[in-house]
Amino acid sequence: MTRHANAAPAGGDWTPIRVERLFEKVANRVETDILEARLLPGQKLPNESELGRRLGVGRSAVREALKTLELRGLLEVRRGFNGGTFVRATDLTEAPFELHLSQWPVATEQDLLAVRLALEPLAARLAATRSDVRTVPLLERILERERQSSEHPAGFVESATAFHIAVGDASGNRLLGTLVESLGTLIKQQLNVAFQIGDAQLVLSGHEAITTAIRRRDPLQAEGRITDLLTGMQLRRTGAAAVGS
């Protein structure tokens, strides 16, 4: 019997090999140095130009790699005098504020979804009725950054997180805005997962629909669109996890 021309040979894993992008290779190199203690907590990294020279890559690859590692919690950026990019401290007395909050790491997906569904649809509904003339242009600028960074995880996650925080601010309720902003680290983690499973377009489309509802000053639509986005992302994450298990 003749083997079909397109049949795969038996006895091996013939799934396609994923090709790493340059910034991912840079991020993996730095991450390995951190995990193997060649870079120590609190140590300052060279600037982007110097890192690029040492690694033989361009500044854009270095910049994207550093943003990725910052999102993973391995690096922190300090502003002002003597600022720069540092290996994140593991000593809790030196660590950033959010690391002292033990509830963040143990929050389940369902816990976080419940809290976000309690806060963000309300914020979107209020934003549609209370926002001022600056709100929609701000959201549209953030959307444009999302579109431009749709192939770059760190930039996309930063922009997409900024969108949710901006909607919270636009609610006109300062406490509500502060509560949404306080979830920023966990929102970033969720958006990073969404990007990794190929849901950047889902997020972007959801943000466009929310912006349209706020522009039209339609509170029910704004509330419904952000609810749809949050529940849709959760369903996609659950499905991806089931496939991978």
Q: Which residues of the chain have pLDDT under 50?
A: 1-3, 5, 8, 13, 91-106
Q: 101-244 is classed in which CATH architecture?
A: Up-down Bundle (1.20)
Degrees to nearest 5, angle at CA 95 with 90 and 98: 120
Residue 243 pLDDT = 59
Return the CATH number of the domain spanning residue range 22-94: 1.10.10.10
- The answer to whether residues 26 and 63 touch, using CB atoms and an 8 Å cutoff, is no
Q: Is 104 exposed, middle or buried (0-12, 13-18, 19+ CB in 10 A)?
A: middle
Between CA 24 and CA 66 the distance in angstroms is 10
Domain ranges of the chain: 22-94, 101-244
CB burial of 20-52 (b: ≥16 within 10 Å; e: otherwise) equals eeebbebbeebbeebeeeebeeeeebeebeebb
pLDDT tens-place string over residues 66-101: 988 888 788 988 888 788 999 986 544 444 444 334
**Which SS3 state, helix, strand or coil, does residue 194 take?**
helix
pTM of the predicted model, to two decimals? 0.61
**What is the rounded distance in angstroms from the CA atom of residue 211 to the CA atom of residue 222?**
8
Rounded to 5°, the CA angle 28-146-204 comes to: 110
Q: How far apart are CA 127 and CA 141, in angstroms?
A: 17
Phi, psi dihedrals of residue 85, rounded to the nearest 5°: -105, 125
